[in-house]
Structure 1
Amino acid sequence: MIIDAMDLLYSKRLDGFCLVSSDSDFTRLATRIRESGLTVYGFGEQKTPKAFIVACDKFFYTEGLIHPSEPVSHSTKAESYTTIQRAQQNDHLASRLQDTEETALDNSGWARLSDVGQHLTTHHPEFKSSAHGYSKLSDLISHSSDFDIEHHPFEEGKPPELFVRNRKASTGSTQV
């Protein structure tokens, strides 16, 4: 399969690749495809090694995909799994947002939301706001009790930009 993928890569007739695997053996292939300037979408199970996930431009967990022809189970077991999974996602989200926000801080303690989103996409390709029940990152952060979000003017005549900061880190500092 890797040989076939490399043949397709050299044909220069594609815009990107979808790699469906939970195997780390495809990490180098994903990296090589990205080095050629093409987009790599990865699909795999929760057990997929982090190296393969990060080698993709965007990664989707197959457990999160819903097949429309399958009935959705509302059993207690499924609901318990969803509750546990959501709690784990929220813990991961808080730490990812914390790290991301800290890397993009300006002198006043605020980070541009667009920079936070770019950092999340680059360093956590599997991250999707929709996995947390929100269509946009701004909505997700707005509903988080850990962060403040504000509109700051950018330039006169242009719409204001959204900025975010860690609420806990800002409790001892002055407000902007």
Structure 2
Amino acid sequence: MTQATDLKIAVLIDADNVSSSTIENILDEVKRYGVPSIKRIYADWTKSHVTGWKEPLLTHAITPIQQYSYTSGKNSSDSALIIDAMDILHSHQVDGFTIVSSDSDFTRLAIRLRESGKMVIGVGEKKTPKPFIAACDKFIYIEILGKETATLSPPREKVSSRIANATTDPTQRQAVRDTKTYESIDPETIDLLRATVNDVADEGGWAPLSAIGGLINKRKPDFDPRIYGFLKLTPLFKSLDKYFEVEEKSTEKTKIKHVYIKIREPLKAARKKSTR
């Protein structure tokens, strides 16, 4: 059986929609899902605004595709990327695609690739239109990439010391403190977490974290704990101890740790007091 990290992925980059300074973090992220076997970037390389790409292209072995703008104001690079994607699809060389762009013009392409059974990962800025995000299996915001340099835009709320201290892993805790601003965990996100835990929980109310993560990504492709200041899903749930219980178990033979989540019943404590 093919493992996720063995999947061959075509990385197609719209140079007009991403900065050259982010490409290393982007490729590192793609490697979490598979091997970037095809790496191409599209632009009119005669234009001055893409000159900064020369060194990163050599460093990361990315193939530049020249596409002249035939008409003023029109982006011909988008069409070239789409045509190449369809050629790669029908060549059966890859298991999935990563489309690096914040442009909604690639929405139909993402849908078509998924219809053909290919995994589609989108990478773009926070301004990316929702239709393109929804068309991907997974969407990753460029702003959250990089453990030490990620800063979210626009910043909403500083992470409280309570949330930072809820992370028992020193590495996780330091990452929380290193990044100054994150988005707050809004009620909509909490409702998403609660609904997901409820849907995969057993009769006792406990849900395995692995199943929770998989279902959340299906429901909200752009969900990522790093948006809220956590590298993993476990410390995110621990910070929400008002709403969830977290239990970690490990088997004696393998020492592999399994994490389970349960919705905390807010009225349980009140009922106990009333029966005294």
Q: TM-score range, shorter-chain basis? A: 0.7 to 0.9
Pairing partner for 1:83 from 152, 157, 167? 157
Residue matched to 1:162? 259
Number of residue-to-residue matches in the alignment: 165
Residue matched to 1:32? 112
Residue matched to 1:135? 231
Matched residue SS, 2:261: strand
Higher mean C-alpha deviation, range 109-118 or range 131-140: 131-140
Contact 1:109–1:170 under 8 Å retained in 2: no
Change (3 A) 1:170 1:150: farther
Matched residue SS, 1:59: strand
Residue matched to 1:19? 99
**In structure 2, what residue type is equivalent to 1:161?**
H
Change (3 A) 1:137 1:65: closer
Residues 24-43 of structure 1 show CA distances to partners (whole Å, capped at 9, x for unaligned) of 33222112212333322212
Higher mean C-alpha deviation, range 162-171 or range 114-123: 162-171
Change (3 A) 1:42 1:79: closer
Deviation (angstroms), 1:4: 2.6
Contact 2:144–2:150 under 8 Å retained in 1: no
Residues 18-72 of structure 1 show CA distances to partners (whole Å, capped at 9, x for unaligned) of 2233343322211221233332221223233333212212211233346x9xx99
**Higher Cα Rg, which structure:** 2
Residues 95-124 of structure 1 show CA distances to partners (whole Å, capped at 9, x for unaligned) of 321221122122222222111111112222
Change (3 A) 1:30 1:168: same
Identify the structure with bigger relative contact order (alpha carbons < 8 Å, sequence gap 6+): 1
**Runs (5+) with no aligned partner, structure 2:** 1-78, 159-180
Matches within 5 A, 1:1-176: 1=79, 2-65=82-145, 81-83=155-157, 86-88=182-184, 90-91=185-186, 92-145=188-241, 146-151=243-248, 161-168=258-265, 171=268
Separation of aligned partners in 2, 1:80 and 1:103: 32
Contact 2:126–2:153 under 8 Å retained in 1: no
Contact 1:17–1:39 under 8 Å retained in 2: yes
Deviation (angstroms), 1:148: 0.4
Change (3 A) 1:171 1:86: farther
Separation of aligned partners in 1, 2:106 and 2:236: 32
Give the CA RMSD over aligned residues. Answer: 3.5
**Runs (5+) with no aligned partner, structure 1:** none
Separation of aligned partners in 1, 2:153 and 2:110: 35
Change (3 A) 1:21 1:79: closer
Matched residue SS, 1:60: strand
Matched residue SS, 2:213: helix
Deviation (angstroms), 1:153: 7.8
Separation of aligned partners in 1, 2:138 and 2:206: 27
